[in-house]
């Protein structure tokens, strides 16, 4: 018992010693980090992993202050603040980053990725590194990391949707994104843009029949109370990225830059792990228990959705972006798929 007590005392002393640098002197750098989700959400937990790692690994040279739940403004607002240097780190998602750097819109293309691993490989590719570098040079915003918070899936109150033909006659709420409008229209549905703040009541009162979001969001915002059917088609990936001020990052010594990058990657991995488990297990089970009927389309049925949207989405992207760039992105993802298939053949 005495040895155990001494061991505990030793561990406590070591923990205190590791914490002392941040207590003993003021930090050399203050890093203010903003995100839009509630405290203790998977995203917020990731930011706290970021804080713990960066402050500890920098021996207290960097202090991290987290502002959750849109305390500093909307996602777009805080990205503007990062550009202006008012804060140093902020959340972005696949729906907002293209406001600052248009080529990023391609990450929101329907059925661009078949699964999270393809997205992870693409974000780690040399091609995406060049895209990120160009964004940093052009806008002063650099993506430190990104992680999936789940694929978007359709819900509705009218009927089960198993394939593209079932979308006919469905008034589907979409965010104010051209690709979301094109996607639902190409499937035969009626796309209806409605602000996020009005979505629940629009579903409740029948202004629209359905909506589309990842499992975690469907659960978090109690859409099962006003929706009957869920289709796990995974048409768009939800990506939460951690964006840093390029000016701030370059102001740090090289060793501290690497600590900030590593901490951001840990943060994204934390959110992804919890959201992935929720999307595959707990979230789906919760929605079943709340009375939702869940459709699991086969690969052939998912192909009917994908085939309906491919041509109009490609046409849109080629008008908005350099066609050579669009081709290079799809080519990179095709190469990633081929490489992953080769591993199991």
Q: Percentage of residues in the chain with pLDDT exceeding 90?
A: 88
Q: pLDDT tens digits for 319-329?
A: 999 999 999 99
pLDDT of residue 15: 45
CA 145, CA 262: separation in Å to the nearest integer? 9
Mean pLDDT of 291-313: 97
Q: pLDDT tens digits for 223-276?
A: 999 999 999 999 999 999 999 999 999 999 999 999 999 999 999 999 999 999
Question: What are the phi and psi torsion angles at 229 (to 5°)?
Answer: -115, 140
pLDDT band for 3, please (50, 70, 90 cuts).
very low
Asked whether 245 and 88 are in contact (CB, 8 A), the reply is yes
Give the tokens for residue 13.
């002393």
- Residue 332 gets which letter from DSSP? H
Residue 46: pLDDT above 90? yes
CA 251, CA 168: separation in Å to the nearest integer? 54
CA 75, CA 93: separation in Å to the nearest integer? 8
Q: Could you give the number of structural domains in the chain?
A: 1
* Higher-pLDDT residue of 120, 21: 120
List the beta bridge partners of residue 29.
Answer: 62
Least confident of 2-6, 143-147, 150-154, 263-267: 2-6
Residue 222 belongs to a domain with what CATH number?
3.40.190.170
Given phi > 0 = left and psi -120 to 50 = alpha, else beta, which region is 322? beta
pLDDT of residue 345: 86
* Mean pLDDT of the residues in the chain: 92
Residue carrying the six token digits 């029949």: 209
Give the tokens for residue 118.
């393809």
Residue 9: pLDDT above 70? no
Residue carrying the six token digits 């990842």: 214
Least confident of 21-35, 173-187, 257-271, 282-296: 21-35
CA 75, CA 306: separation in Å to the nearest integer? 29
Residue 280, C-beta contacts closer than 8 angstroms, at least 6 positions apart: none
Q: What is the pTM of this model?
A: 0.89
pLDDT band for 196, please (50, 70, 90 cuts).
confident
The whole domain housing 125 covers: 2-342
Residue carrying the six token digits 């919760």: 286
Asked whether 154 and 233 are in contact (CB, 8 A), the reply is yes
Mean pLDDT of 41-68: 98
Mean pLDDT of 21-48: 88
pLDDT of residue 95: 81
* Alpha helix segments (H runs only) across the chain: 2-24, 42-57, 75-84, 116-123, 126-139, 178-186, 199-205, 215-220, 246-251, 254-277, 283-289, 299-320, 323-342
Residue 104: pLDDT above 60? yes
CA 266, CA 143: separation in Å to the nearest integer? 14
Give the tokens for residue 209.
């029949």
């Amino acid at each position: 018992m005495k040895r155990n007590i001494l061991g505990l005392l030793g561990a406590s002393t070591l923990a205190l010693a590791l914490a002392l640098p941040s207590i003993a002197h003021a930090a050399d750098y203050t890093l203010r980090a903003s995100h839009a989700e509630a405290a203790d959400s998977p995203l917020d937990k990731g930011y706290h992993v970021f804080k713990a790692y960066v402050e500890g690994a920098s021996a207290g040279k960097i202090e991290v202050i987290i502002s959750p739940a849109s305390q500093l403004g909307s996602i777009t607002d805080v990205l503007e603040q990062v550009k202006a240097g008012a804060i140093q780190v902020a959340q972005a998602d696949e729906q907002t980053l293209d406001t600052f750097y248009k080529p990023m819109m391609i990450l929101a293309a329907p059925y661009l990725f078949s699964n999270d691993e393809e997205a992870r490989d693409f974000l780690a590719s040399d091609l995406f590194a060049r895209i990120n570098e160009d964004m940093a040079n052009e806008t002063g915003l650099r993506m430190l990391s990104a992680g999936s918070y789940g694929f978007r899936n359709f819900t509705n109150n009218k009927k089960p949707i198993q394939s593209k033909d079932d979308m006919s006659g469905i008034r589907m709420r979409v965010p104010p994104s051209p690709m979301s409008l094109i996607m639902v229209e190409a499937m035969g549905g009626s796309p209806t843009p409605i602000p996020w703040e009005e979505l629940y009541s629009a579903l409740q009162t029948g202004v629209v029949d359905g909506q589309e979001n990842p499992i975690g969001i469907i659960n978090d915002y109690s859409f099962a109370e006003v929706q009957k059917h869920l289709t796990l088609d995974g048409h768009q990936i939800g990506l939460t990225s951690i964006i840093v001020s390029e000016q701030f990052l370059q102001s740090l010594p090289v060793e501290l830059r690497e600590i900030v990058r590593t901490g951001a990657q840990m943060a994204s991995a934390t959110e992804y792990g919890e959201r992935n488990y929720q999307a595959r297990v707990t979230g789906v089970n919760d929605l079943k228990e709340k009375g939702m009927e869940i459709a699991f389309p086969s690969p052939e049925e998912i192909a009917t959705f994908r085939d309906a949207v491919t041509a109009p989405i490609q046409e849109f992207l080629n008008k908005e972006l350099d066609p050579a760039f669009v081709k290079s992105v799809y080519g990179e993802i095709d190469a990633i798929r081929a490489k992953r298939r080769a591993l199991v053949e």
